[in-house]
Amino acid sequence: MKKALVLCVSALLSVNAMASDQALICSGNEPSWTLRVNKDGSVLFGDAVATGESGPSRPEKIKVLSRQGFIGFTSDRGTVIQGESSRYGKVTIALTRDENCSDGMSEEGSTHQALFLTSGGTNFYGCCKGDLE
């Protein structure tokens, strides 16, 4: 468990080091993964499925094809991002405001929940901190 936590923290730090324009940082467990949506619109994703290890892989940049809000919501309340991943092909990322989101393992507060859905059926759920705008 300590090794997984250290690897997860390490991956988050490497994601943070990749850009200084941070907007929203998401993560989840079993498998461990991280997602970062930057204010400039770029998206980075890393996961343990790709490596077979207990911590996330080095983040890859997701090619963003489209980004739109949910009908009836401001973009900070809900956003859907369509993209392409070198590991997973077509991906859909759904981000919704949820200050009660829980990953089941930590008591840390959150601002959003995240769903990272892949065309191959490997899907990820987790919680986020930060803002979409």
Q: What is the pLDDT of residues 81-91, one digit of tens each?
A: 999 999 899 99
Which residues make Cβ contacts (< 8 Å) with residue 113, sequence separation at least 6? 95, 96, 98, 101, 125, 126, 127, 128
Number of domains making up the chain: 1
Expressed as residue numbers, the domain containing 43 is 2-130
As a whole number of angstroms, the distance between CA 101 and CA 3 comes to 24
Residue ranges for the chain with pLDDT beneath 70: 1-22, 50-56, 71-76, 105-107, 133
Q: What is the mean pLDDT of the chain?
A: 79
Q: Which two tokens stand for residue 49?
A: 């499925």
Q: Identify whether the C-beta of residue 50 lies closer than 8 Å to the C-beta of residue 34.
A: no
Q: pTM higher than 0.85 for the full model?
A: no
